[in-house]
Amino acid sequence: MIESMAKAKSNSSIKRTVFQKEEGEIFKGSFFLKKYIIFVEANLVNNEVQIFISDNGHPLNDKKILSNPKTLGFQLVNALIDQLNGSIELESKQQNKFSIFFNI
């Protein structure tokens, strides 16, 4: 499921995937897409799954993109988060950083 969310955000043009896993981590890796790198990390803290997805692309200016998504990728991510009674946050400064949280 975590990989589904990451892939929904990263499109289907994944060239290469590198995954590393250390003790206490659920998932950690990078997706390389042409000139972009998408970093993904998932942790379990006190029965809460925390997923962080960031990239080196252009920052998104419109934070309404999460509350009223117009693209299929954001619609799929929001649908998965809603099913899990979770939340998503966006921080866009020099890069985009999505933080996703849900309880297990």
Residues 6+ apart with CB under 8 A from 49: 2, 26, 42, 43, 86, 100, 101, 102, 103, 104
Per-domain residue ranges of the chain? 2-103
- pTM higher than 0.75, yes or no? no
Among 22, 88, 95, which Cα is nearest to 52's? 88
User: Along the 104 residues of the chain, how does pLDDT read in single tens digits?
Assistant: 556 655 555 543 343 344 445 555 666 777 777 777 888 888 888 888 899 999 888 887 766 778 888 889 889 988 999 999 999 998 888 888 999 999 98
CATH hierarchy code of domain 2-103: 3.30.565
